Amino acid sequence: MKTVIDLSHRKVVETYYSDMNNLADLLGKLVNSYRLLIGGVHELNGVALAHKDEIKDALDRVDELGKLIDQILVAFKYSGHAYIDYCKLKSDIIKEHLAVQYIQNEIDDELKLKE
């Protein structure tokens, strides 16, 4: 029964990690879109025939996207700390259970194979 519990916990952490990767991917795409919108507003502002309302509307879209990016950054702040804590805890547990001699033998074996 303990194995089932351990596997289910691992699944939760893997899903959490996947969610964070998806969030990072979304953030990257939104930041890229934000930069393109800023560039578009800059170009629009340089066009003599552009109306002030068009520029204001474009700036409003940039502002909305900026707010969404801010929300994702807040989510990262909370999620990232939990994931980092998990990684630190896992590392501490691994350190407690790993024998230095085992690691040394593994490194020696790998170096012998490369020679």
Which structural domain range is residue 48 located in?
2-81
**32 lies in some domain:** yes
**106 lies in some domain:** no
- DSSP code per residue over 15-37: HHHHHHHHHHHHHHHHHHHHHHH
**93 lies in some domain:** no
Residues 98, 44: Cα–Cα separation, whole Å = 61
- The answer on pLDDT for 9 being more than 80 is no
- The answer on pLDDT for 33 being more than 80 is yes
Residue 47 DSSP one-character state? -
**pLDDT per position as a tens digit, 35-75:** 999 999 988 888 877 788 888 999 999 999 999 999 999 98
Q: Is residue 47 a contact partner of residue 9, using CB atoms and an 8 Å limit?
A: no
**111 lies in some domain:** no
**35 lies in some domain:** yes
* Matching residue, tokens 């969404």: 68
